[in-house]
Amino acid sequence: MDSRLFVAEEDAKRLDVFLSERMEETRSRIKKLIDGGRVEVNGQKVKAGTEIRAGDEVHVEIPEPAEYSVRPENIPLDIVYQDGDIAVVNKPQGMTVHIGNGNTEGTLVNALLYALDSLSGIGGVLRPGIVHRIDKDTSGLLVVAKNDRAHVSLARQIAEKSCHRRYLALLEGNVKADSGRISTDIGRSPSDRLKMAVLPEGRGKAAITDYETLVRYGGEYTLCRFTLQTGRTHQIRVHAKYMGHPVVGDPLYGSRRQRFELKGQLLHAYELELTHPATGERMRFRAPLPAYFFEVLETLARQYGGDDWAEILGREGRE
């Protein structure tokens, strides 16, 4: 057990903010410690919103990390970049990020435990190294933390919106606006617990997505670029449906009649921009469209014409 004591030198903010400024832990991790009774102020268990006063003694107990309960698996992995602090991975469609909901093997975490020499422990024994996620049937880039200091830095960048995550998606129908911002609350659908939904203000968590129209295909389909400002579950897919233009191939939010034989939605996390946790260098990574996505766009271009999407994006090319 790691035991730490902090003495407030002056009146401070909330307890969770006070600790987040002094510990290499994420705000969510700190809240779990507080809620779990592992934080005391002047000998008393308190809540995360407790205001800290000058002279207060804050005692924190951090349990020893448990051994990984996830089995390493030799699964082919497209590692775009790796050093001693981070790894950037291009996840294929069909791979779940971490164990849960009946998935006990074949996940990205299983592959990471085999392929990498270390992973951060902040995410817990089932999510080592995982700072952010993308859906099972969404392809593209994720950054993985190889130590706790990198994990805290990356989580903070995501919270402060300085880590930019951009996606490409083919949508059903003609998106009329050239660009825009969708700002809603998103939460669990009251009618279908497998789905997320746009909810009345205050009923869910704030979700903000920026979009830009790249290519329109005969009024039938639209290729869009999305930039996440928040990271809610299924955010782009829910916001696309909310626009009236669900992602092509989406089994949960798309239309039942699909023209193309797909195994999931045409949604790809193609660009990731971040500040390196150790060096401070600003870094940008891109992943080419998967072959099945590329082939659909080629089919639409032959049928409807339109601008060259690859030229617009700077010739990403194909796999």
Q: List, by residue number, the catalytic residues.
A: 135
- 189 by Cβ neighbours in 10 Å (0-12 / 13-18 / 19+) ranks as middle
Q: Is 62 helix (H, G, I), strand (E, B) or coil?
A: strand
The token duo for 26 is 């994420």
Q: Is 300 helix (H, G, I), strand (E, B) or coil?
A: helix
Cβ-contact 46, 36 below 8 angstroms:
no
How crowded is the C-beta side of 161, counted as CA atoms within 13 Å?
8
Q: Is 127 helix (H, G, I), strand (E, B) or coil?
A: coil
DSSP 92-121: PTT--SSSBTTB-SSSHHHHHHHH-S---S
Listed in sequence order, the residues at least 6 apart from 143 whose beta carbon sits closer than 8 Å to its beta carbon are 86, 87, 88, 89, 131, 132, 154, 163, 272, 274
Cβ-contact 155, 26 below 8 angstroms:
yes
274-286 burial, b if ≥16 CB within 10 A, otherwise e? bbebeeeeeeebb
Cβ-contact 292, 299 below 8 angstroms:
no
Task: Please give the backbone phi and psi of residue 268, each rounded to the nearest 5 degrees, phi first.
Answer: -135, 125
What does each C-alpha distance from 128 to 107, 153, 272 come to in angstroms? 12, 15, 20
